[in-house]
């Protein structure tokens, strides 16, 4: 029989507000069916949609060519750095012909802060020439044509399609690939396989924004070395919960805000 004191304590406990329910250890999804995976992935995306209502492409651009150039420059550097360089770049090189005819030394000087500036200069000059020769200086709006352009792989092509042309595409960058594996959505490492496997979990219309939301989450909370697990809105569905600090106060200190 419970004592009077135990009954009183139980009464007090039941009157307290229910605390935030975060899992004590990583959820286990062993034997998860494809249907269950789809439901879990879409729940996570729904919460990320609510968490990051302002998710968007963080590269500054006004035309498809500007976005294509900015995305090529974003390799091995940050979007913040690219955005510092592109106002000068876009003013000096307003079209494909300008890149094709660029003075190599001048272009290298502008691109130097982005790193690998000689290779990037080479890519932009070749890109400009290819666009002039094959597309009358206009950036094509089809994946199969974009990936043939100098410096343009599937990741870059999907960024341009989704954000400049409104054609849904999944951008498998470093953040996206890390998160989908951490979330247990796939174990694949190959970016093309990841693109197709994750695409199969979501309606096509969601692909572009899904990419933005995962990239936002990767940059702000789900960091590579120390994710902010205790401040994560999708912790209850994540099999990697506990990879980073689960204490809410410690985790909150790891959350980054946009620069």
Which H or E run contains 157?
helix 154-164
Tokens of 40: 């879990």
SS3 19: coil
Closest C-alpha to 48, from 185, 195, 197, 253: 185
DSSP state of 238: -
Closest C-alpha to 86, from 116, 55, 65: 65
d(CA 222, CA 216): 9
d(CA 229, CA 189): 23
Catalytic residue among 25, 173, 204, 225: 173
Catalytic residue among 54, 155, 247, 256: 155
Annotation says 112 is catalytic: no
Annotation says 126 is catalytic: no
d(CA 41, CA 48): 11
Tokens of 109: 């000087």
Given a contact cutoff of 8 angstroms between Cβ atoms, the answer to whether 88 and 114 are in contact is no
130 Cβ neighbours under 8 A, 6+ residues apart: 149, 150
Given a contact cutoff of 8 angstroms between Cβ atoms, the answer to whether 50 and 109 are in contact is no
What residues act catalytically? 155, 173
């Amino acid at each position: 029989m419970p004592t009077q004191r135990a009954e009183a304590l139980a009464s007090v406990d039941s009157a307290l507000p229910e605390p935030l329910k975060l899992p004590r250890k990583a959820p286990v999804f062993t034997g998860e069916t494809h249907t269950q995976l789809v439901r879990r992935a879409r729940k996570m995306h729904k919460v990320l949609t609510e968490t990051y209502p302002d998710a968007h492409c963080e590269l500054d651009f006004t035309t498809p060519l500007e976005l294509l150039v900015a995305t090529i420059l974003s390799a091995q550097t940050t979007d913040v750095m690219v955005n510092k360089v592109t106002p000068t770049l876009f003013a000096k090189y307003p079209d494909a012909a300008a890149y094709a005819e660029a003075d190599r030394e001048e272009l290298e000087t502008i691109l130097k802060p982005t790193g690998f500036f000689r290779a990037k200069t080479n890519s932009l000059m070749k890109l400009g020439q290819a666009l002039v020769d094959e597309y009358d200086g206009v950036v094509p709006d089809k994946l199969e044509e974009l990936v043939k352009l100098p410096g343009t792989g599937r990741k870059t092509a999907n960024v341009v399609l989704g954000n400049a042309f409104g054609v849904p595409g999944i951008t498998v960058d470093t953040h996206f690939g890390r998160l989908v594996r951490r979330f247990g959505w796939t174990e694949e490492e190959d970016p093309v396989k990841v693109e197709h496997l994750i695409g199969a979990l979501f309606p096509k219309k969601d692909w572009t924004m899904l990419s933005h939301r995962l990239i936002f989450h990767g940059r702000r909370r789900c960091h590579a070395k120390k994710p902010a697990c205790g401040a994560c809105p999708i912790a209850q569905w994540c099999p990697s919960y506990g990879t980073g600090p689960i204490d809410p106060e410690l985790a909150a200190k790891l959350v980054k805000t946009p620069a």
